[in-house]
Amino acid sequence: MKTMKIRNWIYLGLGGVLGAWMASCGGGTFCHAQQTLIHVPLPPGTTLNHSGTLIRDFTGVVVTYYSPETNLETFDVARLGAAKETVDLAAFSLTDAAIVNALVADAGRGVKIRIYLDRGELQAECRGDATCARIPLHNLLDLPGVTVKVKFSKVLMHLKSYEIDGMLVRDGSANFSEQGESRQDNSATFTSDLIAAAAFETKFEEIWARADNLTVAEGIKAK
C-alpha cells in the first residue's frame, strides 16, 4: 500500500479504489480521529508513478442540495456568476431566467460559453420560433463568445450539468427551469474533484463533436 501527501490530502492506493482522507496534521502523518473518508473508482489511465504520486490530482469536495427545501437556483446563479474563463453546459431544459441572466453576464465579462441542448425539449419550448423569443434562452443566442448546439437524435439529451473553468462540476436531477430548481423534488451536486471534472470534459467534448449536431434554428425545424 502506497501512502503519499499532496497539498492537504493523503492518498492511498487500495486495489483500484482511491481512498482520500483530509489530514489536519502535518508531515504526512495520518490522523485517524479526524479522517473523512471518500471512495471514488480509480479511472482508466489514472496511475501512481514510481514515487507514489498521483498522476491526476483529486480534491474530493462534494456538496449536494435538494429542492424544494432549498431553492437550487440560488446556488446555480452564484456559481455561474463566479465563472472567469469558461462554462460548458449540457441542459435538457434551459428556461430559468435567473440562470440565463447569469450566463449573459458571464458572456459580457468575456467568459466563453458552450451550451448543448435536447432537440425535442427545445422544440417544445420555442414552439416553432427559431429565435426562441418566448423563453429566456433568446437572450443568449448570437451573443459573442456563446455557442449553442442541439443534439440531432430524438434520443434524449438528459444531462443537467455544467463545468466552470475546468474545475467545478454541477450535476443532478434538477433541470435549469423554475420548477426544476425550486418546486420539484430534485438534487444538485457540486464538486471540485478534478477527476470528476476530467470525466465531464470527456463526455462534453464527445457530445459537442457529434457530426450531426444542429444549430438552434435547425433543431427547431428538424423533423
The domain that contains 131 carries what CATH number?
3.30.870.10
Residues 131 and 183 in one domain: yes
Tell me the pTM: 0.75
pLDDT score at 60: 61
- Enumerate helices (H) and strands (E) in the chain, giving the number of each: 6, 11
- Using the 3D structure, point to which of 33, 56, 79 is the last residue of a domain: 56
Pick from 5, 39, 40, 38: nearest CA to 23: 5
**Residues 47-54: contacts with CB under 8 Å, at least 24 apart:** 48/2, 48/13, 51/4, 52/2, 52/3, 52/4, 52/13, 53/4, 53/6, 54/4, 54/6, 54/11, 54/18
pLDDT score at 52: 37
Mean pLDDT over the full length of the chain: 80
- Using the 3D structure, point to which of 56, 71, 96 is the last residue of a domain: 56
Residues 52 and 69 in one domain: no
Backbone conformation region of residue 51, classed left if phi is above 0, alpha if psi is from -120 to 50, else beta: alpha
Residues 21 and 120 in one domain: no
Residues 155 and 205 in one domain: yes
pLDDT score at 123: 97
Residues 92 and 127 in one domain: yes
- Total domains in the fold of the chain: 2
pLDDT score at 19: 34
Residues 26 and 124 in one domain: no
Pick from 57, 59, 52: nearest CA to 22: 59
Residues 71 and 51 in one domain: no
pLDDT per residue over 67-117, tens digit each? 999 999 999 999 999 999 999 999 999 999 999 999 999 999 999 999 999
* Residue 140, domain extent: 62-221
In the chain, the N- to C-terminal Cα span, in Å, equals: 57
Residues 199 and 135 in one domain: yes
Q: With a cut of 50, list the residues of the chain below it in pLDDT.
A: 1-58
CA–CA distance, 99 with 90 (Å, rounded to integer): 13
Residues 177 and 87 in one domain: yes
Q: How many residues does the chain have?
A: 223
